Structure 1
Amino acid sequence: MTTVVCFGDSITARKEGNPSPALTYKLSQKLPNYNFINAGVSGNTTEQAIERFAADVIAKKPDYVTVLFGSNDSATYRLVDLELFKRNITTFAKVIGPSKTILISPPPVDESLQENRSNESLLQYTTVVREVAEETGSHYIDFFTAMYSREDYKELLVGEKNDGLHFGEAGYDMLSDLIAQKLIEINLNHPKKGLLEKVIGLFFEKEK
């Protein structure tokens, strides 16, 4: 079974009313032949995450790792500057291995509810994540653009806390779809893709 570790902050960790963290719960439903491990810790910046990286990610011997940070790194009260953020994200990608790494840009925020985060700043962190993906050859998901380009993006950001940052079902549906589609895309190019036909069929059947 393919093991995927989802590494991140509260965006990765929150349950939002689900039996377990929303992201990995939804992914497990969409791709039941995969083993999803949640390695999200609320409040983490990349500086804190790098301290637990070996134990929470590498020790799990994953086939793939999603890396989603930036929401806290960009916050004015705990700012991790862009250069250090880039260095940390690059470290994650190189140690995991670019072919196994799926870098995800941070989501936008509802600025009317967020005093310490701005979409202008988050776009800068998104640019860094994209640059690292290009420079290392890692896989990339532009979550920021996927959500921010929607006219109703603020509605997608409504969750239990309703703080303009921690989203609920709609946001996790979007994020889990993007990750599931990326995993399918990667595995379609895998030399053993024939073994994955059942998994892919299950996903698209659920999407109908």
Structure 2
Amino acid sequence: MKDKARILFIGDSITEWGKNEDPEGLGIGYVRIIHDYLKTAFPSKNLEIINKGIGGNRATDLQDRWEKDVLALTPDYVSVSIGINDVWRQLDNPDMVQVYPDQFEEILTGLLEKTNAQLILMEPTVIEEDVNSEGNQKLIPYVEIVRKLANKFGAILVPTHQDFIDYLKSGTTYKLTTDGVHMNSAGNMLMARSWLQACESLLK
């Protein structure tokens, strides 16, 4: 990672997590863990971490604010975590206009095409801590789209969904979320670990 680098995280409430109450604007979630790790592991590097998560966001919301919240800030690295609400709204608010996989892919493709930065794409995590939940089944095509776009754009893929599924399949009963979607401290640690491991080549 360059000695002077701006790393921007954008996403929904999982990324936002406490940002608005934090004087540093980082929150208490996975972005904070990544920030603290990078700051202590590489104290000589001038790293700026920006959290642009907003609760409830779907791909359409990122599209509306990409120019102001990403491009205008000229980041060196852009980490994108989106997709949970695109699926969750299909379950908890089926009467609203939905973002289905084809539109999700079209929007993300357009955003990534205009972004001159090292892209880091995080798979959407989980909806309920049950591998076979309806939400996790509906997430599959969105996860596959993120993987496809990571390959297409030469982005670093953070296998967050796969790491959560592997954890759930381990048989442990220790929870990672507060409500099936929003992370507790363990869930945030898993996300941060997944990100740091995927981005290991950047950190040298």
Q: How would you bin the TM-score normalised by the shorter chain?
A: 0.7 to 0.9
- Structure 2: stretches of 5+ with no match in the other structure: 40-44
Q: What percent of counterpart residues are identical?
A: 24
Aligned with residue 61 of structure 2, among 35, 39, 48: 48
Are 2:48 and 1:35 aligned? yes
Closer, same or farther in 2 for the Cα pair 1:120/1:38, shift >3 Å? same
RMSD: 2.3
Instruction: State TM-score, norm by structure 1.
Output: 0.78
Cα 1:50/1:169, change in 2 over 3 Å: same
Matched, 1:170 2:183: no
1:103 aligns with 2:82: no
Residue 96 of structure 1 aligns to a residue whose secondary structure is: coil
- Aligned counterparts of 1:38 and 1:166: Cα–Cα separation in 2: 17
CA displacement at 1:111 relative to structure 2: 5.9
Cα deviation 1:152-174 (Å, max 9, x = unaligned):
5763433xxx2111011111111
1:92 Cα deviation from its structure 2 partner: 2.4
Is 2:21 aligned against 1:4?
A: no
Cα separation, 2, equivalents of 1:154 and 1:89: 35
Corresponding residue SS for 2:68: helix
Correspondence 1:89-100 to 2 at 5 A = 89-97=108-116, 100=118
Aligned CA distance change for structure 1 residues 153 and 72 (closer, same or farther; 3 Å): farther
Equivalence for 1:23: 30
Residue 185 of structure 1 corresponds to: 201
Provide the C-alpha distance between the structure 1 equivalents of 2:150 and 2:197, rounded to a whole number of angstroms. 17
SS at match of 2:7: strand
Structure 1 unaligned residues grouped into runs of 5+? 189-208
Asked whether the 8 Å contact 1:157–1:171 carries over to 2, the reply is yes
* Structure 1 pair 148–49 and aligned structure 2 pair: CA distance change class (3 A): same
CA distance in 2, matches of 1:83, 1:154: 35
Deviation at 1:27, TM superposition (A): 1.3
Partner of 1:148: 165
Change (3 A) 1:59 1:88: same
| Distance apart, 1:42 and its partner CA | 0.2
Cα–Cα, structure 1 residues 81 and 153, in superposed 2: closer, same or farther, change >3 Å? farther
Match of 2:142 in 1: 125
8 Å CA contact 2:12–2:57 kept in 1: the answer is: yes
Aligned residues: 180
Residue 69 (structure 1) aligned to one of 57, 82, 88: 82
CA contact (8 A) 2:12 2:58 kept: yes
